[in-house]
Chain A
């Protein structure tokens, strides 16, 4: 359901005028991804003779979030301070009175986020893909430079001395238990993951958790921002590298591991050049983990459709995509078992 943009504009006018202590008007509101549970509304704040290009992010209802708006925006600020390309947070408000749920207001950054638009840009500029790959490596190094102990308490999914791989596997075991039908292919992946865990990382770090082609902004110059920090947490940095390289996020550009636009090497070289530690086994492990995680995620979407939690035809279609992830998983296991 689309949001009532004139009502949002009126509330933004009142909020910003009160906060900035001078008359401010919100104009040109555009809702991106209409119907998503989390609202992202682009707008301009007219402030005297200045215009600020901003984004209003409204949280989904409380049951659908892992942590609050303060923790997410604190992670954004830590990532920004570390040098990662992220939106700058101007306003944070945990009060649901304004827009029905907590929200924050951040800078609007230029660029395409639709995967196919990004792949079209890359097809037109032969140097762009590898450049974005390298920029992602540098950005990851910045994010992963944030020590887990400095991250907000709410982002700690497990104790800082726990094994992120073991703790993450518990979550997947639970999802496998919830499936509507037996899935021995996915269970085999889980078996391998359980028996071949990577070394404990020296320190847990800030991990974004969902960097993929679809959650980044790219323009003609390259990577401009990493979006959607709602799943960030402390953990093993290789989780981010492996998840980005799951085949689904390549959108047909299969041979280019990073989002279908870059080989792995530019990303890893830039990551290491920026001082981050790369362990090939941990990378492979987290890529297998990510492939299994998304296979289980698609099965969960189909289950939510079938049990009526969220009737939506695209989620029914997701059930018939589980075999893609199962196949990728089994092909990787052909080398690993």
Chain B
């Protein structure tokens, strides 16, 4: 068992330090870089809180789309393999069916939304689909 503070508690501590002590004291390029660092700390806090649920859901969607089984211990390895397989199919010279492209888009959007929830919550408030006829 790791000693307290937990990883999440360490991140919150670093984030508070950057927000409350460093940011008020710096300006210019240093302030910009500190803002980036403080934002990345919050990204990590959310990533840690989300656990491996987003990756498990992504693996399930990709396996269903590609018609394969992937439920082993190596979640990260499965994700690399499945994403590479889907990318290869999308880049192949022969045209995938429109149904496949639409199903792939739906699956990829669901994963992009999970990533946004960690990296940029609220980004999906605007839908660029309305700009396209």
> What residues of chain A have their CB less than 8 Å away from a CB belonging to chain B?
34-35, 176, 181-185, 187-188, 190-192, 195, 245, 247, 254-255, 257, 264, 280, 284, 287, 313-314, 316-317, 320-321, 323-324, 326-328, 330-337
Contacts and interface: CB of A to CB of B under 8 A. Distances in A.
26 contacts: A34-B29, A182-B84, A182-B86, A182-B87, A183-B83, A184-B83, A184-B104, A187-B91, A188-B101, A195-B95, A280-B133, A284-B131, A313-B36, A313-B40, A316-B36, A316-B40, A321-B119, A326-B115, A327-B109, A327-B116, A327-B123, A330-B105, A330-B112, A331-B109, A331-B128, A335-B129
B112 A188 contact: no
B120 interface: yes
Contacts of B86: 182, 184, 187
B23 interface: no
A313 B91 contact: no
A254 B95 CA distance: 34
B12 interface: no
Nearest to A317: B36
B108 interface: yes
Given A321-B119, A327-B123, A335 B133 contact: yes
Given A287-B131, A327-B124, A333-B105, A187 B119 contact: no
A35 to B, nearest CB: 6
B112 A185 contact: yes
Contacts of A284: 131-133
Contacts of A327: 109, 112-113, 116, 123-124
Contacts of B4: none
B25 to A, nearest CB: 18
B57 interface: no
B85 to A, nearest CB: 8
Interface of B: 28-29, 32-33, 36-37, 39-40, 43, 80, 83-84, 86-87, 90-91, 95-96, 98, 101-102, 104-105, 108-109, 111-113, 115-116, 119-120, 123-129, 131-133
Contacts, number: 114
A54 B109 CA distance: 48
Contacts of A254: 125-126
Given A188-B90, A327-B116, 14 more contacts: A182-B80, A182-B86, A188-B104, A190-B90, A284-B133, A316-B36, A320-B43, A320-B120, A323-B119, A324-B119, A327-B109, A330-B108, A330-B112, A334-B109
Given A327-B113, A330-B112, A187 B87 contact: yes
Given A280-B133, A323-B115, A314 B33 contact: yes
A186 to B, nearest CB: 9
Contacts of A333: 105
A335 B132 contact: yes
Interface centre among B102, B120, B126 (most CB of A within 10 A): B126
Contacts of A335: 129, 132-133
Given A182-B83, A316-B40, A336-B132, A187 B127 contact: no
B108 A185 contact: yes
A253 to B, nearest CB: 10
Contact of B108 (A34, A245, A313, A326): A326
A184 B105 CA distance: 9
A183 B120 contact: no
Contact of A181 (B39, B83, B112, B125): B83
A183 B120 CA distance: 18
A284 B109 CA distance: 20
Given A188-B101, A332-B129, A335-B133, A181 B120 contact: no
B112 A183 contact: no
A184 B90 contact: yes
A287 B111 CA distance: 23
A182 B108 CA distance: 12
A331 B108 CA distance: 11
Contacts of A287: 131
Contacts of A313: 33, 36-37, 40
